[in-house]
Structure 1
Amino acid sequence: MEVLIALLGALGLGTGSAWFVIRNLYYICQPSEVLIFAGTSTRLPDGNTVGYRLVKGGSSLQIPLLERTFRMDLTNMIIDLKVVGAYSKGGIPLTVTGVANIKIAGTEPTIHNAIERLLGKSRAQIEKLAKETLEGNLRGVLASLTPEEANGDQIAFARSLLEEAEEDLQQLGLMLDSLQIQTISDDVGYLDSIGRKQQAELIRDARIAEAQAKAESIVKASANECETALRELLRDEEIAKIEATKGVRDALTKRAALVTEVESIAAAQIAEVEAEIKVETARIVETEQRLQADVLAPAEAKCHRAMAEAKGNAAKIIENGEAQALGLQRLGEVWRSAGTDAREVFLYQKIGVLMQMMAAGVPKIAVSDVTVIDAKNGTQATKLAAFLEQFNQATGVDLKRIVGQVESGK
C-alpha cells in the first residue's frame, strides 16, 4: 500500500487524490471469488487472446478509463433436482429426485467459458441454467436404463449422470462437485410390483434356505449323535482296558508294598532296640559323670581347699611370728643402743597416737587438780596443761614430771 501511494505521488497526485484512487480503483480478491478486469487484452497459454485479465487470490489496481472490474463468486450452489414422467428404457415413466452441488470453475481453461457465458448473470439465473442442464441430462440417462437398473444401483445411476453432465457443464464454465439420487418412483406401480416380486422371491429363497438349513442341521445332528455314540463306546472300551491294567498293576504294587512294609517294620524294631541300648549306655555314662561331678569332684576340691587353707594359715602364723620376733629383736637392739633415754624416746614416739586415742575416748570427769598457767602463753598453754593432766589421770604417767626432769638434765 505504501509503495502504491509513493507511486501515485511520483505521478504527481496528492495525498487526497491518491486515497481517492485507492478507494475506487484498488481491488482485493477474496479466496472464494475471482476478479475480472475487462478492457485489457491478454494472451492465454493456448495462444488465444481475450479482452480481459484475471486476478484470483490477490489484488490489483484498475486502470482508469481503460478497464472495468467484475467479481465472480466461486462458492457452491445447491440445486434440488426433480424429473417427473421421464420415460425409462421400456417406456415406463419415472419420477426422480436428487440434489447436486455445483460451482463456477475457478481453474483454466474452464473459467474462460464461465466468463463468456455467465458474466453479468445473477446467482439465481446461474442456478436455473445449471438445474435445467442437469435435469436434461437426467432424462437422457433414464432413457438408457430400465427401471430395474435405475432403482437397483442408484450409485451407478448417479455415476452415469455425472459422466453425462460433466461435458455440458464444462461448456457452461460450471463444475459438478457431487450428485446424489434421493428417490426413484413411478405412477403406474411398476417399481412396487417389482419390489413385491423381489420380496416374494426373497421370502421364497429365504424359506428354501431355511428348509435346507434345517435338513442339513438334522443330518449333521444325526451324524454328530452317531459319532458321539461311537466315541463313547470307544471311550468305555479304553476305560475298561485301563481299569484292568490298573487292577493288575495295583495287585503287583500291593504285594511289593506288603513285603516292603514287613521289612520296614522289622528294621524299625531292630533300630528301636539298638537305639534303646545306646540310650541306656549313654545313661550309665551320664550317671557316672554326674556322680563324679556331684560327689567326688566337690569332695576332692574341698579336701584340697582345706589343705591349702591350713598350709596358708600355718605359713601366715609362721611369718607373723618370725616378723614379730625380728621386730622385737630389732627393738631390743635399738633400746640397748639408746641407753637410759630409750624409754623417754619411745614414749615421745607414742604420744601422738595415745593423744588421738585419748582425745576420742576420754569422758567428762570432775576437776580434782588446778594448774595455773601464765596468761602470756595463751590458749595453747591452757590446752596443753589440760591434756597433760588428762594423760596423767588415764595412764598414770606424769608427763609434766618427765618433761621437768629432761629440762633439768640439760
Structure 2
Amino acid sequence: AYEFLPLDVRTLDVNVNDIVTDVATSGAKINIMSVTQVKVSSEKSALYVAAEHLLHKSNAEINEIAMKTLEGHVRGVCATMTIEAINSDRDLISSSIQTQATGDLLNMGIEIRSFVIKEIEDEHGYLEALGVKRTEEVKRDARIGKAIANREATIQEAIAAQEAEKANAEAEAQVALYHRDRDITRQLAEAEVEKERANKEISFDIQDSKRNQELIVEKRTIDLRDKEKSIEVQTAEVKRKEQEQIAEQ
C-alpha cells in the first residue's frame, strides 16, 4: 500500500491564550490571535524527514503539530517581553516567532511561509488603557506640534514683516537718495545756467560800455574835426577879407 504526503500550503489560525509576559517582573497575561501558512517541505532532504515523521499522520495531526510548535515559540518569545513592547511592534514579534520556529518545524519536514499576529488582548483591559493613553499622547503631541507650528508660523510672519519693513525702508531711502541727487543735479544745472547768463550779461555790459566809449571817442574826434574845419573856414574868411581890404586901398 502507498501513503501520500500532501504538499499544499496550509493556512492555520494559531490562537494562544494565557501567555505570561515579562516573566521576570510583571507576569501579565495576554491572548494572541495569529495566522500562519505552513506546508510539508518539498525539498529532497526535508522530504525524507517529513516522510519519517508525518507519513502516517492525518492532515489534522500535521496541523496540530505545526500549531503546537508555533504556540510554544509564541509563549517563549513573549515571556521575555513586556506587554507594551509586544503591542508596540507586532511585525518584529511575528518575525522573531517565525525565525525561531523555522528550525523546529524543519526538523519535522514542515516549512513555515508566514506568521502574522492579528490581535492581542488581555482580560484586565490594560492594552485598551494603553491604546487610550497612546491616543491621548498622540492628541497631546498633535496639540504640541500645532502650537509649535503656529509659533514657527508667527515667527516666520514676524521675520517676513520685518524683512518687508526693512525692504520698504531701503526702498524709501533709495527714493530719497534719488530725489536728493536729482535736486542737487538740477540745482547745479540751474547754477551753471545762471552763471552763464550772468557771464553773458557781464560780457554784454562790457561790450556795451566799450562801444559807448568808442562812440564817445568817435564823437569827440568828429567834433574836433568839425572845429578844425570851422577854424580853417574862419581863417580863410579872415584872409579873404584882409585881401579884399588890401585890394580896396
Tell me if both proteins adopt one fold, taking TM over 0.5 as the criterion: yes
Indicate yes or no: 2:74 matched with 1:141: no
Partner residue of 1:196 out of 129, 132, 135: 132
The separation in 2 between residues aligned to 1:131 and 1:247, in whole angstroms, is 97
Match of 1:75 in 2: 8
The separation in 2 between residues aligned to 1:249 and 1:179, in whole angstroms, is 88
The alignment yields a C-alpha RMSD, in angstroms, of: 2.4
Note the C-alpha offset of 1:240: 3.5
Note the C-alpha offset of 1:215: 2.7
Note the C-alpha offset of 1:244: 5.7
Alignment of 1:145-184 (within 5 A): 145-184=81-120
Match of 1:104 in 2: 40
The separation in 2 between residues aligned to 1:204 and 1:97, in whole angstroms, is 31
Match of 1:218 in 2: 154
Identify if the C-alpha distance between structure 1 residues 105 and 250 changes in structure 2 by more than 3 Å, giving closer, same or farther.
farther
The separation in 2 between residues aligned to 1:194 and 1:221, in whole angstroms, is 39
Q: Aligned to 1:71, what secondary structure does the other structure show? A: coil
Q: Which has the higher contact order (CA 8 A, sep 6+)?
A: 2
| CA offset digits 1:271-313 (Å, max 9, x no partner) | xxxxxxxxxxxxxxxxxxxxxxxxxxxxxxxxxxxxxxxxxxx
Q: Percent identity?
A: 29
Indicate yes or no: 2:46 matched with 1:121: no
The separation in 1 between residues aligned to 2:173 and 2:77, in whole angstroms, is 75
| CA offset digits 1:325-382 (Å, max 9, x no partner) | xxxxxxxxxxxxxxxxxxxxxxxxxxxxxxxxxxxxxxxxxxxxxxxxxxxxxxxxxx
Q: Which amino acid aligns with 1:74?
A: L
Number of matched residues? Answer: 185
Match of 1:86 in 2: 19
Q: Which amino acid aligns with 2:99?
A: E
Note the C-alpha offset of 1:112: 1.6
Note the C-alpha offset of 1:142: 1.5
Indicate yes or no: 2:161 matched with 1:228: no
Q: Which amino acid aligns with 1:138?
A: V
Q: Tell me, which stretches of 5 or more residues in structure 1 are unaligned?
A: 1-67, 253-410
| CA offset digits 1:185-237 (Å, max 9, x no partner) | 11101111222222222322332333233233323322321221111010122
Alignment of 1:11-410 (within 5 A): 69-89=2-22, 90-242=26-178
- Larger gyration radius, structure 1 or structure 2: 1
| CA offset digits 1:22-63 (Å, max 9, x no partner) | xxxxxxxxxxxxxxxxxxxxxxxxxxxxxxxxxxxxxxxxxx
Q: Aligned to 1:97, what secondary structure does the other structure show? A: strand
Q: Aligned to 1:172, what secondary structure does the other structure show? A: coil
| CA offset digits 1:78-132 (Å, max 9, x no partner) | 1011112211112111111111110011113222211011002222221122112
Q: Which amino acid aligns with 1:92?
A: A
Q: Aligned to 1:167, what secondary structure does the other structure show? A: helix
The separation in 2 between residues aligned to 1:178 and 1:157, in whole angstroms, is 12
The separation in 2 between residues aligned to 1:81 and 1:246, in whole angstroms, is 91
The separation in 2 between residues aligned to 1:107 and 1:251, in whole angstroms, is 104
With normalisation by structure 2, the TM-score equals 0.67
Note the C-alpha offset of 1:73: 1.8
